[in-house]
């Protein structure tokens, strides 16, 4: 009997990352990045996903018939039962049946879920949160995403909308958020939040080397944030201190609400600045946490980096298969 393989994808607004795993969950091959920016329609993005999957099959030197299942983390609201992308902010999908499109092409089961939920699941099954029972995950990138593992199961809430930790109101008089509210955690602790602060200080006449790295959408590469911080850029240091302060408040609130045994931080900002962020949050978080709860919570960085989502996608497949037995 021919060996079977699982294909796992991380589908983002600007890239697709992919990997192939064998029957023993060993990573056989991977494709680091493939741009989705040129895809300005549902069909174009779908074609990029299909092209990446085909390339992975070819690179792994396997046949299409040897694909056991395909799985992906996708940004937005995902109905993981039906495989429909209800809404995603950076891709042209609204109530789109992505599952049917992929299964029709490859004749294999296709599983999908919200990218940060899937990333937290990956850390729970294979990474920094392995062995814990209740986990809160904050993933810091362009925005702030969240994910919850409760009693060893991914919690998606009513209509698959749970985990929007970036939209906790931290300061009702704070900056306006893209969601329409004011003072969400995302307005302080995301790339966009930090970029807005830095630009605001530059308008006041202060200088910052980050000015040259922030694009018109308020986004920058995390490596530049690290470089500016290490160079002692005062405005950047203030932006980071501010981000960590509010992340500590958000973390304390979640600890008080559900008493997890683990909180993890992931995403591009943490990959670049993890030790700095963790140190600064740990210096403050006790102030916002009930003393009786705090000692039972471990706070740590995600360990899988770019592959949190990939391993979470693998976990989606394995969990689905277990539930059928």
d(CA 117, CA 113): 7
pLDDT at 91: 75
pLDDT over threshold 60, residue 75? yes
Q: Across the chain, what does the average pLDDT equal? A: 93
Average pLDDT over residues 13-39: 83
Q: Which residues, in sequence order, are CB contacts of 1 under 8 Å at separation 6+?
A: none
d(CA 24, CA 3): 10
Q: Which residues, in sequence order, are CB contacts of 269 under 8 Å at separation 6+?
A: 140, 141, 190, 191, 222, 225, 277
Residue-wise pLDDT for 255-281, tens only, equals 999 999 999 999 999 999 989 999 999
Q: Do domains 5-119+307-324 and 131-303 have the same CATH topology?
A: yes
pLDDT category at 245 given cuts 50, 70, 90 is: very high
Where in the chain are the domains? 5-119+307-324, 131-303
Residue-wise pLDDT for 165-185, tens only, equals 999 999 999 999 989 999 999
Which of the four CATH numbers 3.40.50.170, 3.30.420.40, 3.30.70.1070, 3.90.1150.10 does domain 131-303 have?
A: 3.30.420.40
Instruction: Break the chain down into helix, strand, coil percent, rounded to 5.
Output: 45, 25, 30
Per-position DSSP letters for 308-325, written without gaps between them: HHHHHHHHHHHHHHHHH-
CATH class of 5-119+307-324: alpha beta
């Amino acid at each position: 009997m021919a060996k079977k393989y699982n294909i796992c994808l991380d589908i983002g607004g600007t890239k697709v990352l992919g990997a192939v795993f064998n029957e023993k969950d060993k990573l056989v091959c991977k494709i680091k990045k493939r741009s989705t920016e040129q895809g300005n329609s549902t069909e174009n993005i779908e074609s990029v996903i299909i092209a990446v999957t085909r390339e992975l099959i070819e690179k792994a030197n396997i046949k299409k018939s040897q694909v056991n299942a395909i799985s992906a983390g996708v940004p937005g609201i995902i109905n993981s039962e039906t495989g429909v992308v209800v809404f995603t902010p950076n891709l042209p999908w609204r109530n789109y049946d992505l599952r049917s499109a992929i299964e029709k092409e490859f004749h294999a089961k296709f599983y999908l879920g919200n990218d940060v939920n899937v990333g937290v699941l990956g850390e729970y099954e294979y990474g920094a949160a392995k062995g814990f029972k209740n986990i809160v995950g904050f993933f810091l990138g362009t925005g702030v995403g969240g994910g919850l593992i409760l009693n060893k199961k991914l919690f998606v809430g009513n209509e698959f909308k749970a985990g929007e930790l970036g939209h906790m109101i931290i300061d009702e008089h704070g900056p306006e958020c893209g969601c329409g509210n004011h003072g969400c955690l995302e307005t302080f602790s995301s790339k966009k939040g930090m970029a807005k602060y830095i630009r605001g200080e530059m308008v006041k006449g202060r200088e910052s080397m980050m000015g040259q790295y922030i694009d018109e959408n308020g986004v920058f590469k995390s490596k530049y944030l690290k470089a500016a911080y290490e160079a002692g850029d005062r405005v950047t240091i203030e932006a980071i201190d501010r981000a960590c302060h509010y992340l500590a408040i958000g973390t304390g609130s979640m600890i008080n609400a559900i008493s997890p045994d683990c909180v993890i931080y992931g995403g591009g900002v943490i990959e670049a600045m993890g030790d700095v962020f963790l140190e600064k949050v740990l210096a403050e978080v006790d102030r916002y946490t009930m003393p009786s709860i705090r000692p039972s919570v471990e706070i740590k960085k995600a360990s899988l980096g770019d592959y949190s989502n990939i391993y979470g996608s693998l976990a989606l497949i394995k969990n689905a298969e277990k539930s059928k037995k």
